[in-house]
């Protein structure tokens, strides 16, 4: 007989993110074999009392697990390093350390990021970096869901060699860890990969039937470089090269013309907004309110810890909404619901996983975050979704669940040895940075 672990979350309020009006004040969630088997309002059916695990959600709200749709997890090692410098100077400092990082260093830095994400309610992340085979083992252990891609940058290592390593990541890891790990190919950006390289990667992605994760239209400099070299916009160039025939995770989209937005609207692209990174590197303000109005799919993300400096999606939501309001001079732009949607349901669509995650509804994977609302800074609970975006802090996360497995509960990480990770990071930091 196969074991079918079941879980009941009772006495819980719920923002399932299926529709704005679908909020449940007092209800339950029943999980079976990693998927949501029932969601309801009021009392739960008595047989659910027999569940293997029962969580009393009184005073908490359940939301779909947060999706950090663009990050570079090993960059946690560079948190707070070379801050407040001009972009090029900052990058040179970062690259100098990255050149000395081993895959083992990247693994531990990535584990540090995963610990931070689990504790702040993130259940899925899309990662772009190097040393991804080792990081995939970390994802397997952590219990998180991830979309992993090995970044390709033209430079010291031949493109074919980098591509071969990306392909082997896909072959070894795509759909692994009971489907928690997905993979993509990743040309770093239009200014670090030539059109020929990008075309090669698209062809490979077609053969492997995977998506593509890249940076697009991040800075004014990028726009100028692409204009000068190819007499096009980054989005226009990618359209011409056929990038949008695949599902694309495109980080940033800060500088977009009306024509660019029209291309994005018609394509299988998820624009990923990274407001704190864009602010810290003084890149600019992405027109997120306009993109949503035009029907472009938009997800939310932290980017790497070197340009943020935390992987806290609650903070990211707050910055996203406030930044749109101040930049449009319109307090109604990017509402709390639209913002939470970018971090959950819309985010799932942006990374191409909307059939499996992003909402709390029957049949979906049980990726759920429970947030404690019995705190002074969220009292009284006038409006839950508003609190989630404008008031809740990462420390208010009470429980993080992926695939029906609890990764974090009662202040404790259940899949990652936090003490060991901190010890390893301290050692690596001393070796690389001090
Ligand atoms: Zn990035």
- Residue 86 pLDDT level (bands cut at 50, 70, 90): confident
At 88 the pLDDT is: 81
Residues 185 and 204: beta-carbon distance below 8 Å: yes
| CA of residue 64 to ligand 1 center, whole Å | 24
| CA of residue 252 to ligand 1 center, whole Å | 8
Q: What is the DSSP letter of 365?
A: B
Give Cα 173 distance to the centre of its chain: 19
89 vs 231, more confident: 231
Tens of pLDDT, residues 280-317: 999 999 999 999 999 999 999 999 999 999 999 999 99
Rounded Cα distance between 75 and 98, Å, is: 9
| CA of residue 216 to ligand 1 center, whole Å | 10
Rounded to an integer, the average pLDDT of 151-170 is 96
Tens of pLDDT, residues 317-357: 999 999 999 999 999 999 999 999 999 999 999 999 999 99
- Residue 4 pLDDT level (bands cut at 50, 70, 90): low
- The DSSP-derived string for 6-45 is EEEEEEEEE--SS-GGG-EEEEEEEEETTEEEEEEESSPP
| CA of residue 407 to ligand 1 center, whole Å | 26
| CA of residue 305 to ligand 1 center, whole Å | 10
379 vs 4, more confident: 379
| CA of residue 277 to ligand 1 center, whole Å | 8
Rounded Cα distance between 403 and 160, Å, is: 36
Q: Is the pLDDT of residue 41 over 90?
A: yes
SS3 at position 200:
helix
| CA of residue 180 to ligand 1 center, whole Å | 22
| CA of residue 307 to ligand 1 center, whole Å | 9
Cα dihedral 318, 320, 322, 327, rounded to 10, equals: 170
- The DSSP-derived string for 41-73 is ESSPPGGGGG-SEEEE-TTEEEEEPEEEEEE-G
At 2 the pLDDT is: 42
| CA of residue 71 to ligand 1 center, whole Å | 6
Helix (H) / strand (E) containing 91: helix 87-98
At 336 the pLDDT is: 98
Q: Walk me through the domains of the chain, giving residue ranges and CATH numbers.
A: 6-64+366-413 (2.30.40.10), 67-350 (3.20.20.140)
| CA of residue 331 to ligand 1 center, whole Å | 28
| CA of residue 206 to ligand 1 center, whole Å | 23
Give Cα 373 distance to the centre of its chain: 24
Rounded Cα distance between 299 and 126, Å, is: 11
- The DSSP-derived string for 248-261 is EEEEE--S--HHHH
Share of the chain above pLDDT 90, in %: 96
Residue 164 CB-half CA count within 13 A: 5
Rounded Cα distance between 347 and 341, Å, is: 7
């Amino acid at each position: 007989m196969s074991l079918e672990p079941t879980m009941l979350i009772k006495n819980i309020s719920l923002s399932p993110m299926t529709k704005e009006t679908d909020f449940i004040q007092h209800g339950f969630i029943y999980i079976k074999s990693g998927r949501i088997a029932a969601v309801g309002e009021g009392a739960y059916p008595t047989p659910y009392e027999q569940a293997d695990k029962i969580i009393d959600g009184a005073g908490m709200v359940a939301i779909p697990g947060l999706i950090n749709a663009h990050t570079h997890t090993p960059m946690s090692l560079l948190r707070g390093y070379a801050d407040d410098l001009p972009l090029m100077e900052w990058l040179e400092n970062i690259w100098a350390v990255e050149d000395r990082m081993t895959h083992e260093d990247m693994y531990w830095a990535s584990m540090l990021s995963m610990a931070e994400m689990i504790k702040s309610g993130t259940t899925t992340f899309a990662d772009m970096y190097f040393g991804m085979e080792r990081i995939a083992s970390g994802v397997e252990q952590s219990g998180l869901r991830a979309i992993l891609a090995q970044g390709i940058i033209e430079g010291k290592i031949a493109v074919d060699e980098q591509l071969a390593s990306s392909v082997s990541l896909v072959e070894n890891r795509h759909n692994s860890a009971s489907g928690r790990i997905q993979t993509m190919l990743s040309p770093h950006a239009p200014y670090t990969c030539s059109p020929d390289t990008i075309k090669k990667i698209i062809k490979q992605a077609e053969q492997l039937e995977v998506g593509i994760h890249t940076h697009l239209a991040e800075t004014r400099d990028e726009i100028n470089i692409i204009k000068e070299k190819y007499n096009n916009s980054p989005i226009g160039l990618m359209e011409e090269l056929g990038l949008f025939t695949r599902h694309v995770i495109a980080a940033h989209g800060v500088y977009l013309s009306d024509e660019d937005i029209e291309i994005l609207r018609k394509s299988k692209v998820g624009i990923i907004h990274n407001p704190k990174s864009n602010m810290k590197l003084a890149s600019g303000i992405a027109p997120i309110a306009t993109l949503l109005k035009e029907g472009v799919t938009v997800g939310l993300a932290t980017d790497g810890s070197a340009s943020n400096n935390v992987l806290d999606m609650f903070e990211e939501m707050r910055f996203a909404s406030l930044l749109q309001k101040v930049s449009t001079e319109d307090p109604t732009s990017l509402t709390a619901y639209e913002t939470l949607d970018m971090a959950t349901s819309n985010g799932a669509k942006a990374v191409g996983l909307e059939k499996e995650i992003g909402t709390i509804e029957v049949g979906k994977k049980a990726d759920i975050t429970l947030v404690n609302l019995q705190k002074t800074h969220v009292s009284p609970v006038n409006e839950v979704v508003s609190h989630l975006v404008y008031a809740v802090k990462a420390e208010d996360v009470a429980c993080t669940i992926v695939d029906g497995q609890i990764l974090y509960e009662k202040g404790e990480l259940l899949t990652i040895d936090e003490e060991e990770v901190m010890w390893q990071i301290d050692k690596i930091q001393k070796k690389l940075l001090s």
